[in-house]
Structure 1
Amino acid sequence: MSLLAVRNLTKRFGGNTAVDDISFDLEAGELLALIGPNGAGKSTTFNMMGGQLPASSGSVRFDGRELLGMPSRRIAHQGIGRTFQIAATFASFTVLENVQMALLSHHRQVYSFWRPAIGRHRDEALRLLEQVGMGSQAGRPCSELAYGDVKRVELAMSLAGKPRLLLMDEPTAGMAPAERNALVALVKSLVLQNDMAVLFTEHSMDVVFAYADRIIVLARGQLIAQGSAQQIRAHPKVQEVYFGTGKTFETLAPGATPP
């Protein structure tokens, strides 16, 4: 049985079908990329899986348990982490305090602005920061960090719940090419170390083709292809959706984003 099984997932907004009857599987230890042009339905798919948006129909089963209909907080406690296109951290808190806050939430402990988190789960938070290469910056406010480092802090926060599945929506958005590759290489290493599954959306094809174990492609809400990087590069329907005619992914400049 697959760790994640998505079947006939559909989302309609009035007369518009944003996600149209898509099905796919994800295994433990796999880094799966979900790609497609703007408006393909990627974020809508993520938001249904994460409980931020109700599905019109279909099924999303994680380790045999149905997720659709669960609130997002309960989904997180099933062993599913989530990062967003825009990093969600407390800018005025230190790097360490942000991860401590995530650990308080995971342990379902009450936090109050009148009862600072300092000292609670400190060692565990530091271990998570070391995993993502941010241990040396634990005492800095997040407001002082470069954007790529903020993304690393968000990754550490998402790992606080010891997820077996991590959903990452545009994890490298706004990052320079070197930062993009470093972050996804880090995620890939965490997948291998922890036998964790990752589903991520991404516009940067260099990152997708370099690190994804498998790729699924959406266009206008429909799943049009899935396979290895080599298979997706050569898939005529995918090339048509991204480029029209006369271009291929091989002609795309390194680090560039398809139109």
Structure 2
Amino acid sequence: MSAAVLTVKGLGKSFGGVKAVDGIDFDLRAGELLALIGPNGAGKSTTFNMVNGQLRANAGSIRLNGVELIGKPPREIWRLGVGRTFQIAETFASLTVVENVQMALLSHDKHMFSTWRRAADHRLGYALDLLDQVGMRAQADRPCSELAYGDVKRVELAIAMANDPKLLLMDEPTAGMAPKERNALMALTKQLVVERDMAVLFTEHSMDVVFAYADRMIVLARGRLIAQGKPLEIRDHPKVQEVYFGTGKTFEKADAVGVPA
């Protein structure tokens, strides 16, 4: 078994007297999609933002291939090989598809200001290759403002690939998408994980997506880790059924939409 790309130990974050995250441990390996789920207020976003460097942990450790991330700003964490997509896709609407990717490459290469006038030429071939990987090369010269939302999500994924990430963080990747678009985006992500041998940590409210594409799942409730394991193990876990869905509710809805049992 390969070594963990991401190792989280004793992670904690408090806001005043409230423990938003309370001593959680998990790891994530290359080639693996790990879903982080839980009810509202479970601590998912706080955990996610600590890994990304947007929040600083009060306790514990977050290591990327052995390098401690706590205390490093998001830009430095990005340059270490942590990509991110957001619940609401973030692109420059007035720029073309390929220019959006080139902007990310300029930032990664630390040329954002010194070569602004030559931005249109900056690593154009590689930017087009990234768009090809997400199925958007044919639309490279279109402004992002003209794209359907599902295509904007694909462009955002190409942007996240610009730093050749070892770890990709995806915050509600299928939010606002139709079922067909959701499956297409997650199937593409799964393909990229295998081809690039990278690790993905994602949050998601759509249980059909989680059960169809996650290799493993970790479940939080009130800031604590209550379960982790493969999807079938989580589906049948009594504590998850009680805390995540409430007494008497189950994962049957996920099964009903065609998720493999």
TM over 0.5: yes
Shift, 1:53, TM fit: 0.8
- Secondary structure at the aligned position of 1:24 is classed as strand
TM-score by length of 2: 0.94
Counterpart AA for 1:87? A
One-letter amino acid of the structure 2 residue matched with residue 49 of structure 1: V
Q: Is the 8 A contact 2:171 2:203 kept in 1?
A: yes
Counterpart residue number, 1:81: 83
Q: How many residues align structurally? A: 256
Report the equivalent of 1:140. 142
Picking from 102, 105, 122, the partner of 1:103 is 105
1:205/1:255 contact within 8 Å kept: no
Aligned match of 2:178: 176
Alpha-carbon separation, structure 1, partners of 2:108 and 2:116: 20
The amino acid across from 1:90 in the alignment is F
Give secondary structure in 1 for the equivalent of 2:4. coil
> CA distance change for structure 1 residues 9 and 114 in 2, over 3 Å: closer, same or farther?
closer
C-alpha deviation, 1:110, in angstroms: 2.6
Cα offsets for 1:18-58 (capped at 9, x unmatched): 11110001111111111111111111111111111111111
DSSP-derived class of the 2:93 partner: coil
1:64 equivalent among 57, 63, 66: 66
Q: What's 1:13 paired with?
A: 15
Equivalent pair of 2:30/2:166 in contact (CA under 8 Å):
yes
Structure 2 gap ranges (5+): none
Correspondence for 1:127: 129
Match of 1:162 in 2: 164
Name whichever of 133-142 and 243-252 sits farther off.
243-252
Q: Which amino acid aligns with 1:240?
A: E
Change beyond 3 A, Cα 1:69–1:255: farther
- Seen in structure 2, the aligned counterparts of structure 1 residues 142 and 209 have a Cα distance that, compared at 3 Å, is same
In structure 2, the partner of 1:91 is 93
SS of 1:247's partner is coil
User: 1: distance between equivalents of 2:117 and 2:234?
Assistant: 52
Q: TM-score, normalised by structure 1?
A: 0.95
Q: Tell me by how many angstroms 1:177 deviates.
A: 1.0
Give the distance between the partners of 2:16 and 2:22, measured in 1 at CA: 13
Runs of 5+ unmatched residues, structure 1: none
| Pairwise CA distance, 1:218 | 0.7
Q: Which moved more, 1:8-17 or 1:116-125?
A: 116-125
Which residue of the partner structure matches residue 51 of structure 1?
53
Q: Which one of the candidate residues 217, 228, 238 is aligned to 2:230?
A: 228
Q: Kindly indicate whether the alpha-carbon contact (under 8 Å) linking 2:211 and 2:254 is maintained by their aligned counterparts in 1.
A: no
| Structure 1 residue 253: Cα displacement | 7.1
**2:240 matches 1:238:** yes
The amino acid across from 1:78 in the alignment is L
Aligned mates of 1:116, 1:171 — CA distance in 2: 32
Partners of 1:235 and 1:88 in 2: how far apart? 36
SS at match of 1:108: coil
Alpha-carbon deviations, 1:198-228, whole Å to 9, x = none? Answer: 1111111111111111000011111100001
Question: The residue matched to 2:120 in structure 1 has which SS?
Answer: coil
Q: Return the match for 2:193 from 184, 191, 194.
A: 191
CA distance in 1, matches of 2:150, 2:166: 24
Aligned partner of 1:206 in structure 2 is 208
Q: Distance between the aligned counterparts of 2:145 and 2:59, measured in 1?
A: 41
Q: Is 1:34–1:215's contact at 8 Å kept on the other side of the alignment?
A: yes
- Measure how far apart 1:81 and its partner are: 0.7
Equivalent of 2:252 in 250, 253, 259? 250
Identity level (%): 70
